[in-house]
């Protein structure tokens, strides 16, 4: 029986990964700050931001799936910048050192498509532009440690695009709640496109990368193979909620004006307003990624797509809100 250590085991992706590994016959050990983990997983409490990696957590492990880290915050501060590098980069290096001492063979690092900067058009693993946020820079630095540090024989980097699924967190869940509550304005079709991926497919991709030898030393972007506009998502959510799609929309010029008003309110309050220019950019901007490399190398093919997954996500949100 293969044994895996999953860091961040209590999180959205980590908990799904633990359960999927168990279904594939793995013995699973989970490490998290809270000590939370799915049933049947050996739980270990450790805050990688302030604690050394327990050597016993790594002992006897065949594969480490490293998900624990500080997530991206839109309104970053100097304190955030320091924390990104402490948690995402320095803690990863300490974990890699523990792997080296214990003879762990495979290390699968969950990075992000934000580990590199954006370019126009479809982005793949060949993009080398520097990340433009402390979050992305900390992730890229960790990637280099994983791939170039020679700590383990088989290092792999996974870069998921925006991950969706049954969770209360994330932009998609916020959008669903706002549409359901009548707080999300009907946007025009702006021609923007964003790549996404279901959590189940991210987990499948990571396990494939851990099991196949040709993944050694590689970086893989993971998407569901499609890219969605905000207007498409809005209409699909309305249909899944059985809400009538309005026959009107808020013009983009009005949204830009509202974004500037939100910027001004944020400056006065000293914190971001719920809708500002950054929020509008999230809604109207594009971020398209290609997952052709992992399809070619490992035979990965997404099994979930957003439109078909939305009804189950909405049912989940209704259950947890009761």
CA atoms in the 13 A half-sphere facing the CB of 57: 29
Q: What is the pLDDT of residue 233?
A: 97
pLDDT at 74 > cutoff 80 = no
DSSP symbols for 279-320: HHHHHH--BEE--HHHHHHH-------HHHHHHHHHHHHHHH
3-state secondary structure string, 38-70? CCCCEEEECCCCCCCCCHHHHCCCCEEEECCCC
Domain range summary for the chain, segments of one domain joined by +: 3-160, 164-196+224-287+306-322
pLDDT digit string, tens, across residues 145-194: 999 999 999 999 999 999 999 999 888 999 999 999 998 989 999 999 99
CATH superfamily of 3-160: NAD(P)-binding Rossmann-like Domain (3.40.50.720)
Q: CA 18 to CA 39: how far, in whole Å? A: 9
Q: CA 15 to CA 173: how far, in whole Å? A: 18
pLDDT digit string, tens, across residues 210-227: 999 999 999 999 999 999
Band (106; pLDDT cuts 50, 70, 90): very high
Contacts of 259 (CB under 8 A, 6+ apart): 275, 276, 277, 279, 280
Q: What is the pLDDT of residue 136?
A: 95
- State the average pLDDT for the chain: 93
From the list 299, 137, 133, the residue with the least C-alpha distance to 220 is 299
pLDDT digit string, tens, across residues 224-257: 999 999 999 999 999 999 999 999 999 999 999 9
pLDDT at 75 > cutoff 80 = no
pLDDT at 314 > cutoff 90 = yes
Q: What is the pLDDT of residue 38?
A: 85
Q: What is the pLDDT of residue 108?
A: 98
pLDDT at 137 > cutoff 90 = yes
Q: What is the pLDDT of residue 36?
A: 81
Q: What is the pLDDT of residue 198?
A: 98
pLDDT digit string, tens, across residues 25-70: 999 999 998 888 888 999 999 988 888 888 889 999 999 999 999 9
Band (322; pLDDT cuts 50, 70, 90): confident
**Over residues 264-274, mean pLDDT:** 88
Q: What is the pLDDT of residue 48?
A: 86
Band (5; pLDDT cuts 50, 70, 90): very high
């Amino acid at each position: 029986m293969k044994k895996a250590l999953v860091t961040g085991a209590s999180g959205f992706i980590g908990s799904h990964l633990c359960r999927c590994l168990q279904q594939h016959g793995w013995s699973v050990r989970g490490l998290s700050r809270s000590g939370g983990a799915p049933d049947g997983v050996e739980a270990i409490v450790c805050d990688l931001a302030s604690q050394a990696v327990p050597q016993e957590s790594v002992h006897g492990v065949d594969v480490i799936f490293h998900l624990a880290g500080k997530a991206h915050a839109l309104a970053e501060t100097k304190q955030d910048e320091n924390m990104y590098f402490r948690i995402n980069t320095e803690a990863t290096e300490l974990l890699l050192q523990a792997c080296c001492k214990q003879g762990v063979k495979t290390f699968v690092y969950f990075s992000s498509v934000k580990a590199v900067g954006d370019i126009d058009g479809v982005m793949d693993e060949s993009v080398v532009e520097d990340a433009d946020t402390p979050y992305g820079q900390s992730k890229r630095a960790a990637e280099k440690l994983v791939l170039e540090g020679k700590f383990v024989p088989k290092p792999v980097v996974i870069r998921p695009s925006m991950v969706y699924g049954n969770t209360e967190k994330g932009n998609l869940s916020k959008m669903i709640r706002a549409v359901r509550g009548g707080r999300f304005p009907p946007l025009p079709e702006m021609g923007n496109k964003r790549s996404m991926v279901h959590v189940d497919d991210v987990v499948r991709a990571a396990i494939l990368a851990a099991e196949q030898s040709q993944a050694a030393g590689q970086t893989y972007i993971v998407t569901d193979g499609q890219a969605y506009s905000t207007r498409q998502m809005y209409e699909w959510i309305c249909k899944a909620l059985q809400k009538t799609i309005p026959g009107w929309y808020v013009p983009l010029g009005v949204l830009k004006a509202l974004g500037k008003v939100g910027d001004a309110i944020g400056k006065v309050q000293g914190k971001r307003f719920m809708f500002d220019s950054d929020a509008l950019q999230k809604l109207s901007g594009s971020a398209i990624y290609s997952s052709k490399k992992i399809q070619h190398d490992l035979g990965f093919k997404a099994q979930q797509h957003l439109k078909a997954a939305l009804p189950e996500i909405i049912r989940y949100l209704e259950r947890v809100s009761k």
